[in-house]
Amino acid sequence: MAAALYIAGACAGALFFGWLTDRLGRKKLFLVTLAVYLAATAAKALNTALFPPNVGWRLTFALGAIFGLIILVVRRNVPESPRWMFIHGRENDADDLVSDIEDQVRADTGTDLVDVRDQSIEVRQRRATGFGEIAAVLMRYYPRRTVLGFALFVGQAFLYNAITFNYALILSKSFGVPDDRVGYYFAVICAGNFLGPLLLGELMDTLGRKPMITGCYVVSAVLLLVTAGLFDAGALSALTLTACWTVVLFFASCGAGAAYLTVSEIFPMETRAMAIAFFYAIGTAAGGIAGPLVFSKLSAAGDPGRTALAFVIGAAAMFAAGLVELVFGVRAEGRSLEELARPLSATETDPAVRTGR
């Protein structure tokens, strides 16, 4: 229940702050949401009794606030989206920003940039894009891409919930791992989750996102199915189960991370912030709220067969998402956002560009 409530809060926050991002800009909202996170995280670490009897988790929350402060400092130096600035009447700021980037690229590469003025698009500046217009665009012009975004987020939500939300429960019920030792196992699977994008990320550019996302989703699903079979047969220990999960997340994390980029670039640029918020909220709610409630019931008794079923559900969702990516995935590498999806603010509408194909 606690996990389901956490996901519900995350989904509601994504929609609310995503709506504000469209109006105020992503840089400003990133700083606002990070400040909210810092305040809430720091508050959870306060204790008038100087932390006992629960020192460990309170210090962990305090450490999270420290890392958040570091991110806050770094994020202040990341510029606002020039597309967002141009759409919202700040064309001079957008031009200055892009000119600075172009000057840096020329200096770093020693070559001139390609002249793209023949690809220019005239747009109408606007203050915001409403929920109704975004929903109409997604359903009417880009139905296949909408199915793709939904599948990718539901798949990764079910997989991660099948593993992480009930990880401690499985270790304690099935293998008798003490509560104070569970964190060490978590550290191992987090290492796999970190190394996946680090080592496989380059292939997104060389092989392409469509085959890589498909491969990462399908491979992680197959590996999780194998893990379920071994777990049901009693062939795994706490260490070998953790090793299996580490390999699963090595592939899954790379594909799941790319899902965020996918939904932010395959729809019109005015919807980028809301597209991420929409698919995160809907997909994560479907997998993240139902997942913990269902998986906790399956894992609570320590029955290997029922626990393995939780793994199978997560694997099936990932496998289905991989197939959807294979069929509906969009090859976006080397293409501008305007080429992938014509802006809603464009003064001339070309229906051929807005077919969602």
Q: Give pLDDT, residue 91.
A: 86
Phi, psi of 347 (to 5 degrees): -75, -25
User: Do residues 349 and 277 touch, judged by C-beta distance below 8 A?
Assistant: no
Which whole-number Å values give the CA distances from 25 to 39, 90, 262, 348, in the listed order?
22, 11, 20, 25
Nearest 10 degrees: Cα torsion 294, 300, 303, 307: 40
Q: Which of 213, 196, 195, 193 is nearest to 205 (CA)?
A: 213
User: For 128, which DSSP code?
Assistant: -
Helix, strand, coil content of the chain in percent (nearest 5) = 75, 0, 20
Q: Give pLDDT, residue 5.
A: 79
> Would you call the peptide bond into 53 cis, given omega within 30 degrees of 0 as the criterion?
yes
pTM: 0.76
Residue 63 tokens, joined:
């450490």
CA-based torsion, 114, 89, 269, 69: positive or negative: positive
Q: Give pLDDT, residue 332.
A: 81
Quick: pLDDT tens for 267-326: 887 777 777 778 888 877 777 677 777 777 777 777 888 888 888 988 999 999 999 999
Q: Give pLDDT, residue 351.
A: 44
Q: Give pLDDT, residue 50.
A: 57
Nearest 10 degrees: Cα torsion 101, 104, 109, 115: 40
Q: In terms of C-beta distances under 8 Å and separation of at least 24 residues, what long-range contacts does 293-296 make, across chains too?
A: 293/1, 293/4, 295/161, 295/162, 295/165, 295/166, 296/3, 296/165, 296/166, 296/169
Q: Give pLDDT, residue 326.
A: 94
Give the relative orientation of helices 238-265 and 167-175 as an angle to the nearest 10 degrees: 160
- Residues of the chain predicted below pLDDT 70: 41-45, 47-58, 60, 128-131, 162, 288, 347-357
Q: Give pLDDT, residue 49.
A: 56
Coil, strand or helix at 346: strand
